[in-house]
Amino acid sequence: MTKIILGLSGSLRRGSFNAGLLRAAAEVAPADTTIQIGSIREVPLYDGDAEAAHGLPPAVLTLQAQLQAADGLLLVTPEYNNGIPGVFKNAIDWMSRGPGLKMFVGKPVAVLGASPGGFGTGQAQSGWLPVLRTLRTKPWFEGRMLVSHAGQLFDQDGKLQDAATRKQLTEFVAGFAASL
């Protein structure tokens, strides 16, 4: 049976290293695993008044359906000012609304990320832990992947070119998939 992992990139930038890393993860996934790439691009800023008046936005309903169908969740996070990107946290906040919170409970989650700087995304990855704990997910701690100096690893089209990073990513994704 094929395992399905919902993969989300926390960046909206067209040339995002994290979106490129997510695409590469989908390419290197084991044969029995599919990484379905979701999008946070159309998720509006959270507004409780808008939710009360109109319900959950279509983009959120799509993400919730993808999360419900997935065996695991892969968060590919940038790091902004040593923390979680606001747009990414906003999308997860929306996804947890209505019936969404139950969809997170017990869901295996892996976090990785890429940064143009020299420290990877360690602070952002750590910043996700209280959120994942609150959502009662099952964080996967068996692997860790911090991609530093991402500008040197991806081509102008956002494709991962570095063989060593691709090998590390293959092992990371395989490890997470094996845990599902």
Return the pLDDT at 5.
98
Tokens standing for 147? 């991609």
Return the pLDDT at 28.
98
Q: Which residues, in sequence order, are bridge partners of residue 33?
A: 3
Domain count across the chain? 1
- 16-44 pLDDT per residue, tens: 999 999 999 999 999 999 999 999 999 99
1 pLDDT more than 90: no
174 pLDDT more than 90: yes
Q: Burial of 168 by CB count in 10 Å (0-12 exposed, 13-18 middle, 19+ buried)?
A: middle
Is residue 23, in this structure, part of any structural domain at all? no
Is residue 48, in this structure, part of any structural domain at all? yes
Half-sphere exposure of 135 (CA within 13 A, CB side): 25
Q: For residues 121 and 37, what is the distance between their CA atoms, to the nearest angstrom?
A: 20
User: Containing H/E element for 125?
Assistant: helix 122-134
Is residue 21, in this structure, part of any structural domain at all? no
Instruction: Look up the pTM and report it.
Output: 0.97
- 35-79 pLDDT per residue, tens: 999 999 999 999 999 999 999 999 999 999 999 999 999 999 999
Q: Which CATH number is 67's domain given? A: 3.40.50.360
Is residue 169, in this structure, part of any structural domain at all? yes
Residues 6+ away with beta carbon under 8 Å from 166: 24, 28, 160
Range of the domain at 8: 3-16+28-179
Asked if 8 and 78 touch (Cβ cutoff 8 Å), the reply is no
What value does the mean pLDDT take over residues 91-112? 98
Q: For residues 146 and 120, what is the distance between their CA atoms, to the nearest angstrom?
A: 5
Return the pLDDT at 145.
97
Mean pLDDT over each residue of the chain, to the nearest integer: 97
